[in-house]
């Protein structure tokens, strides 16, 4: 390529890169704007919480990467008067652009991974605990763990008692409207005791010893810090299975004689939230079944 040809090429190259820089910058800001409009238009607090938790980190990462791309493009279009001297400068400039834009993208990604989760958690907590408004416009009250059990079915209670699941129960005390929201402990970040970043996450839970009717069970929760990699294991008690083994079924009732009774259903819930249903013709059959029932040996 002769000098004039190279010079013309650089001219075109710069034009294209200016356009690409513009696209990168616009994309970077547009992602942020669209994200904040979208999260702003979600009226329901729980839905907003879910949206932020699922999308916000990703959106910020895309925005950062678009910005890093814009940095790459703009560096490749500067100092044309130097680059026109020698073909080599074209590659040196490209190399510098790769280094700088990678650094920008990398630092951004690091901040998002290690510094940002704590910020996001604060924001999520705000939306989780901000008072809900019932359909009749009243401010609802968040029940305490002790109060909420009345509103949770056995499956939900078992789930809460054992695994890292929280059900928040909101009540409108005027008209008794109830709102139940489910939150998973696996998505939460906690403060790491070693590096003090808010980057400690629950990785998995294992039942060490299942609860029985006479003894408490034990559960291990394994946490890991995504920043410093330190691990933490905590032990938790699983409450005894409350089962009324001296249940009294009305055996002397001749239910079959009552024409309205078609069958008797027995519903059994495990502390893992599993649910089994059985149907019987008579209370006698049901009683016999219950006396022999063991959860792990499910009868055919």
CB of 109 to Zn ion, least distance (A): 18
231 binds Zn ion (CB under 5 A): no
Four-point Cα dihedral 253, 258, 262, 267, nearest 10: -30
Size of the site for Zn ion (CB under 5 A): 7
CB of 201 to Zn ion, least distance (A): 10
CB of 196 to Zn ion, least distance (A): 7
Minimum CB distance to Zn ion smaller for 116 or for 227: 227
Q: Contact at 8 Å (CB) between 7 and 84? A: yes
Minimum CB distance to Zn ion smaller for 194 or for 281: 194
Identify the CA nearest to 197 among candidates 166, 228, 232.
228
Of 7, 175, 184, 194, the one binding Zn ion by CB under 5 A:
194
Of 94, 152, 187, 228, the one binding Zn ion by CB under 5 A:
228
CB of 204 to Zn ion, least distance (A): 18
CB of 224 to Zn ion, least distance (A): 9
Minimum CB distance to Zn ion smaller for 112 or for 287: 112
Render 145-178 in DSSP notation, one character per residue. HHHHGGGS-HHHHHHHHHSSEEEEEEE-TTT--E
225 binds Zn ion (CB under 5 A): yes
CB of 28 to Zn ion, least distance (A): 30
Span near Zn ion by CB under 5 A; candidates 102-110, 163-171, 227-235, 273-281: 227-235
Q: How far apart are CA 164 and CA 178, in angstroms?
A: 22
Minimum CB distance to Zn ion smaller for 17 or for 225: 225
Span near Zn ion by CB under 5 A; candidates 224-232, 237-245, 264-272, 280-288: 224-232
If you compute the radius of gyration of the chain from its CA atoms, what whole number of angstroms results? 31
Reported in sequence order, the residue ranges of the chain that DSSP labels E, i.e. its strands, are 141-142, 165-171, 178-184, 189-190, 200-209, 217-225, 231-238, 264-269, 275-280
Q: How far apart are CA 259 and CA 273, in angstroms?
A: 34
SS3 (DSSP) at 202 = strand
Residue 92 has which token pair?
A: 């040196």
Stretch 7-36 residues interacting with Zn ion (CB under 5 A)? none
192 binds Zn ion (CB under 5 A): yes
184: Cβ–Cβ under 8 A, 6 or more apart, which residues? Answer: 164, 165, 166
Q: Cβ-count burial of 48 within 10 angstroms (0-12 exposed, 13-18 middle, 19+ buried)?
A: buried
Minimum CB distance to Zn ion smaller for 178 or for 195: 195
227 binds Zn ion (CB under 5 A): yes
Minimum CB distance to Zn ion smaller for 160 or for 224: 224
190 binds Zn ion (CB under 5 A): no
189 binds Zn ion (CB under 5 A): no
Tell me which residues touch Zn ion (CB under 5 A).
Answer: 192, 194-195, 225, 227-228, 230
């Amino acid at each position: 390529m002769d000098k004039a040809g190279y010079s013309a090429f650089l001219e075109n190259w710069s034009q294209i890169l200016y356009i690409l820089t513009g696209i990168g910058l616009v994309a970077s800001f547009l992602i942020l704007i669209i994200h904040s409009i979208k999260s702003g238009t979600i009226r329901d607090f729980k839905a907003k919480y879910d949206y932020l938790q699922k999308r916000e980190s990703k959106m910020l990462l895309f925005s950062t990467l678009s910005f890093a791309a814009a940095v790459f493009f703009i560096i490749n279009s500067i100092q044309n008067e130097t680059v026109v001297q020698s073909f080599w400068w074209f590659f040196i400039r490209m190399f510098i652009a790769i280094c700088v834009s990678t650094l920008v993208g990398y630092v951004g990604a690091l901040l998002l991974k290690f510094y940002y989760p704590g910020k996001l958690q604060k924001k999520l907590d705000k939306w989780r605990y901000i008072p809900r408004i019932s359909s009749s416009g009243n401010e609802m009250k968040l029940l305490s763990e002790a109060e909420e059990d009345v509103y949770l079915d056995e499956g939900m209670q078992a789930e809460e008692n054992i695994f890292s699941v929280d059900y928040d129960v909101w009540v409108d005390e005027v008209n008794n409207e109830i709102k139940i929201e489910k939150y998973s402990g696996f998505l939460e970040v906690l403060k790491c005791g070693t590096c003090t970043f808010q980057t400690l996450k629950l990785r998995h839970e294992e039942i060490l010893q299942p609860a029985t009717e006479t003894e408490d069970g034990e559960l291990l929760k394994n946490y890991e810090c995504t920043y410093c990699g330190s691990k933490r294991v905590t032990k938790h008690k699983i409450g005894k299975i409350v089962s009324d083994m001296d249940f009294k079924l009305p055996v002397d009732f001749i239910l079959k004689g009552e024409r309205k009774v078609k069958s008797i259903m027995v519903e059994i819930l495990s502390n893992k939230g599993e649910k089994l249903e059985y149907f019987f013709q008579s209370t006698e059959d049901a009683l016999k079944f219950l006396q022999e029932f063991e959860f792990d040996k499910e009868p055919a």
